[in-house]
Amino acid sequence: MTMSSIKTCAFWIVVYIFDYRLANVNQCYTEVVILKKTTPMVHRVPLTEARTNLGQIVRRAHLNNECFILEKNGIPIAGIMDIDDMEDWLELQDPEMQEQIAEGYKEYRQGRTRPLDDFLTELHAGDDPEKVKTHS
């Protein structure tokens, strides 16, 4: 198992956990403890206020998972969010990642899933074929 496939598998666990409309979590991973990230609070802030309080806004975005829409004359012109969320969003814009997500969802729909314990065994075994269990 390559690091790329490990990353994709780990991503799909997150998708299964967080997007329960796409997948039946109980069917896929019965032992998963759901650690859902809280939905970010979204605040609309005038640009002049944001300029005055930029340090506080950035701190709140980073520590409290808050998002800020900056407005000029009531028109949204920019946003501030935590860097982890921004990097996730940017990664999801990658066509290759979108293909991997579509492929993973197709495999899920075909019933090609496995228990979480098996996945974690593979993950911890790394690329050593002697340690990795084979799956159908």
Read off the pLDDT of each residue in 125-133 and give the average, rounded to a whole number. Answer: 60
Of 10, 54, 17, 51, residue with least CA distance to 32 = 17
**pLDDT by residue (tens digit) across 4-32?**
443 344 444 444 444 444 444 444 443 33
pTM: 0.52
Residues of the chain with CATH 3.40.1620.10: 41-81
C-alpha distances out from residue 48 to 3, 65, 76, 92, Å: 45, 22, 13, 32
Angle among Cα 46, 64, 60 to the nearest 5 degrees reads 40
The confidence score (pLDDT) of residue 12 equals 42
- Output 95 or 12, whichever has higher pLDDT: 95
CATH number (3.40.50.800, 3.20.10.10, 3.40.1620.10, 3.90.1720.10) of 41-81 reads 3.40.1620.10
Average pLDDT in the chain: 74
